[in-house]
Chains A and B, each alone.
Chain A
Amino acid sequence: MLEEALRHLVAGIVDHPEDVAVSERNQRRGKCLDVSVHPEDMGRVIGRAGRTASALRTVVTALNDGRGVRIDFLDVAER
């Protein structure tokens, strides 16, 4: 559910929603989600001073019953 929720949250705010992909990695210290977006959308998902990235982490953590989720942002070229 978290992957899909994050994919939706990101796809709704970028110019290239078709390029948004989310994959989950399980780490020893909990969940980590990798989000890849079109290179032109990178600035948009990070936001000024990381504001948007931080809002995404806050909402996804809330949906995970308050357990912290790490989110890494990649552009599609890095995938």
Chain B
Amino acid sequence: MSNETAEPTLLDKEGDAAADYLEALLDIADLDGDIDIDVEGNRAMVSVVEVNKGELRHLVGNDGKILDALQELTRLAAARETGERSRLMLDVAGYRADRKAQLEQSASEAIAEAQRTAAPVSMDPMTPFERKVVHDVVAAAGLVSESDGEEPNRRVVIRVS
């Protein structure tokens, strides 16, 4: 079997295992949530969607700290089922989706500034996932970007060329 046909199967299994793990947790905690499973790029994307607005906010936390912890555990649960290390992304209450939209907006503003001034524009420090969002927007606009500095202060620098 070729890799292209094997890969979605693994991602499906990952997503299903993650959904089972999260669904049971919501049940125990008596919280409502709909679970969506998707594939984004080559990763499983699992989203817990709020049924009652604000009900799952405490599972996101400041700066998504609690969401990251829950994602870590969900990856381990998925890995136990598939036997492979999991890179799945978890979203709760649209936190990552909102964050992505904000990042795309600030990337567009930084691109406009780089084009106007023809000078490099340095963005705020970001996580690897956030930097990837910015790099993608910059590449789509036909400009050049690179990451500079050490974690956790690593940031994207945008140049016209």
Q: Please give the residue numbers on chain A whose beta carbons come within 8 Å of chain B beta carbons, in ascending order.
A: 1, 4-5, 8-9, 12-15, 44, 51-52, 54-56, 58-59, 62-63, 65-66
Contacts and interface: CB of A to CB of B under 8 A. Distances in A.
Given A59-B66, A62-B58, A62-B61, A13 B28 contact: no
A12 B27 CA distance: 15
Given A4-B28, A8-B25, A52 B58 contact: no
B: interface residue count bin: 10 to 19
A8 to B, nearest CB: 6
Nearest to B79: A13
A35 to B, nearest CB: 13
B73 A13 contact: yes
A29 B99 CA distance: 36
Given A13-B77, A56-B73, A59-B69, 14 more contacts: A1-B28, A1-B29, A5-B29, A8-B25, A9-B25, A12-B73, A13-B80, A44-B76, A55-B68, A55-B72, A58-B65, A59-B59, A59-B66, A63-B29
Contacts of A44: 76
B30 interface: yes
24 contacts: A1-B29, A1-B30, A5-B25, A8-B24, A8-B25, A12-B24, A12-B73, A12-B76, A12-B80, A13-B77, A14-B80, A15-B80, A52-B72, A55-B68, A55-B69, A55-B70, A58-B66, A59-B59, A59-B66, A59-B70, A59-B73, A62-B61, A63-B29, A65-B58
Contact of A12 (B58, B66, B69, B77): B77
B95 interface: no
A54 B76 CA distance: 14
Given A54-B69, A55-B69, A58-B66, A5 B76 contact: no
Nearest to B59: A62
Contacts of B72: 51-52, 55
